[in-house]
Amino acid sequence: MGRLVHAEVEHAAATPRALEPLFVLSNASLFALHAPALWSARVAFAQPIAPLADAARTRPLVWLAWHRYNFAATAALRALPAALRPTLVMHDGLASRALTHEASAWLGFETFVFRRRSPVSPRAQLVDYMRATGRSIVNLPDSGGPYGVMKPGILEVARACDALIVPFAIAARPSLTLGRSLRHVVPLPFARIVLARAEPLAAAGATVDQCQRALDRLERRL
């Protein structure tokens, strides 16, 4: 069982409190749909995990994957040792609140929720969380589109926390491909899921182009 951690910053409410029971119900529905495939998945790691576990003892990791691997990545990262399993990052807006908060915690992830309606920027909230806890996170750097294009914001967070960046991609068979533009990879029950990663990059010297190339190379290998 994971837990929900909300940013402790000044903020205005993003969703009506009266809807909270409905949000829990919608999270339960998503959890019920997603959990059988996650629990029955056979997960393998294309590269050894031990070096990452050693690195994570002294500095946080920022796992990077394209948004289309969102569902499959949940299954793969859930199979990591608890000490290496990264925090999922959500926001307190309507869609995130309705679908992912409790569901993520029930799946065993620590889930950090940043406040969208706050004078403190989401980036600063995330940096404060990582510095205070020392925890690793997973980020989808093309969220919101254009898809398959690395955005620079997460690099600034990683540099501020002296993190290591771990680009990765997922293969899942059998799986469904949903959506025309994003093409979500959704594992089916008893799927074999393989996580392939690049060598970690020190955030201090990493560039957007380096991360883009690493993610593109991993995608071509699958």
Tell me whether residue 189 is in a domain: yes
What residues form DSSP beta bridges with 178?
A: 184
Tell me whether residue 210 is in a domain: yes
Domain that holds residue 174: 3-7+19-221
For residues 196 and 169, the answer to whether their CB atoms sit within 8 Å is yes
Q: What share of the chain is helix, strand, coil (3-state, %, to 5)?
A: 40, 25, 35
Alpha helix segments (H runs only) across 79-185: 94-99, 101-106, 122-133, 153-160
- Structure confidence at residue 207 (pLDDT): 96
Number of domains in the chain: 1
- Peptide bond before 146: cis, by omega within 30 degrees of 0? yes
- Structure confidence at residue 163 (pLDDT): 97
Quote the CA–CA distance of 76 and 38 in Å, as a whole number: 8
Q: Give Cα 114 to chain centroid, integer Å.
A: 14
For the purposes of burial, counting CB atoms within 10 Å of the CB of 13, is it exposed (0-12), middle (13-18) or buried (19 or more)? exposed
**pTM for the predicted model, two decimal places:** 0.94
Evaluate the CA torsion angle 67, 70, 76, 79 in order and state its sign: positive
Evaluate the CA torsion angle 77, 82, 88, 94 in order and state its sign: positive
- Structure confidence at residue 34 (pLDDT): 86
Tell me whether residue 84 is in a domain: yes
Tell me whether residue 13 is in a domain: no
Q: What is the DSSP letter of 200?
A: P
- Structure confidence at residue 182 (pLDDT): 78
Query: Residue-wise pLDDT tens for the chain (222 aa)?
Result: 799 999 999 999 999 999 999 999 999 999 998 889 988 999 999 999 999 999 999 999 999 999 999 999 999 999 999 889 999 999 999 999 999 999 999 999 999 999 999 999 999 999 999 999 999 999 999 988 899 999 999 999 999 999 999 999 999 999 998 877 778 899 999 999 999 999 999 999 999 999 999 999 998 887
- Structure confidence at residue 135 (pLDDT): 96
Tell me whether residue 31 is in a domain: yes
Quote the CA–CA distance of 176 and 194 in Å, as a whole number: 15
For residues 113 and 3, the answer to whether their CB atoms sit within 8 Å is no
Tell me whether residue 58 is in a domain: yes
Quote the CA–CA distance of 159 and 215 in Å, as a whole number: 19
- Structure confidence at residue 221 (pLDDT): 84
Q: What is the DSSP letter of 163?
A: P
Tell me whether residue 12 is in a domain: no
